[in-house]
Amino acid sequence: MSTRRPLIAGNWKMHKTVAEAESFIQQLLPLVYAAEAVDLAICPPFTALAAMVDSARGSRVQVFAQNMHQAQAGAFTGEISAPMLTEIDVDGVILGHSERRELCGESDRGIALKLAAALDAGLEPILCVGESEAERERGETERKLRHQVQEGLAKVETERLGEVAIAYEPIWAIGTGTVAEPEQAQEAAVFIRALVASRSPEQAGRVRILYGGSVTPENAASLLALADIDGALVGGASLDARAFAAIVAAAAPA
Ligand code: PGA
């Protein structure tokens, strides 16, 4: 059993108005009140961040953004910076989600800059990595993960590597209902941890590796029981307070 605290993060993507987010959090708070051994975060759209921070204040629920820009400020229309997030007490940020890599052209180099800026600002980053179906079929999973992890962490000081959470999210499992087999998730997590260990074995023991991709209350326990999986990044199932709370409960060590 590892000493790493499990982290369950709900990535709402482009879902929920402020009113819907309010109703979710009021439903969630009593359901997760007792889950003391688990860290949990919700990642609403930018427009609902401030309201969620206020509603979750004093609870065990943290609030993360889904993206940010690496610069402090500047001529970047449509972007949000780390100081804007910390000003309203946002706790962390998802970086390099595959949808942003694919749909918004995010690169490993850009993500590396964002990761360093997030840590500097005191935000807890979740770095997302994962291979496509074609890459897995071609036997290129490790090559892809090596590239994404090494490049993504390139600007993080060695002694701070353990502060980053890394979400292994195979693209073929995201939003498809096809969850990775536990062996596939564990194998990828071991590989990712070894990549961190090549820089610092000590930090590799601290870094939390999450699994993401079609996590549900039904399959969460078998994934969260894996030795090197320290939590989950949950998309669709995080939109429902009961389903999300059930996944949080599955992460609590027996
Ligand atoms: P999903 O999304 O749980 O809906 O598959 C996961 C994610 O994109 O982070």
Q: Is the CB of 178 under 6 A from ligand 1?
A: no
Q: How far apart are CA 154 and CA 250, in angstroms?
A: 33
Q: How far apart are CA 236 and CA 15, in angstroms?
A: 10
End-to-end CA distance of the chain: 11
Cβ pair 56, 62 in contact under 8 A:
yes
Instruction: Quote the pTM value.
Output: 0.97
Atom of ligand 1 nearest to the CA of 13: 8
What letter represents residue 49's amino acid?
Answer: L
| Catalytic positions, written as ranges | 97, 169
Q: Which helix (H) or strand (E) holds 122?
A: none
Cβ pair 210, 229 in contact under 8 A:
yes
All residues at 6 or more sequence positions from 164 whose CB lies less than 8 Å from its CB, including other chains: 115, 119, 125, 126, 127, 153, 156, 207
Go through the domains of the chain in sequence order and give each one's CATH number.
7-251 (3.20.20.70)
**Of all protein residues, whose CA lies closest to atom 2 belonging to ligand 1?**
235
pLDDT at residue number 254? 60
Q: Is the CB of 98 under 6 A from ligand 1?
A: no
Taking only the tens place, the pLDDT of each residue in 116-152 is: 999 999 999 999 999 999 999 999 999 999 999 999 9
Taking only the tens place, the pLDDT of each residue in 83-113 is: 999 999 999 999 999 999 999 999 999 999 9
Q: Is the CB of 247 under 6 A from ligand 1?
A: no
Q: How far apart are CA 130 and CA 133, in angstroms?
A: 10
Distance of CA 143 to the CA centre of its chain: 21
pLDDT at residue number 190? 98
pLDDT at residue number 3? 80
**Of all protein residues, whose CA lies closest to atom 9 belonging to ligand 1?**
235
**Of all protein residues, whose CA lies closest to atom 3 belonging to ligand 1?**
235
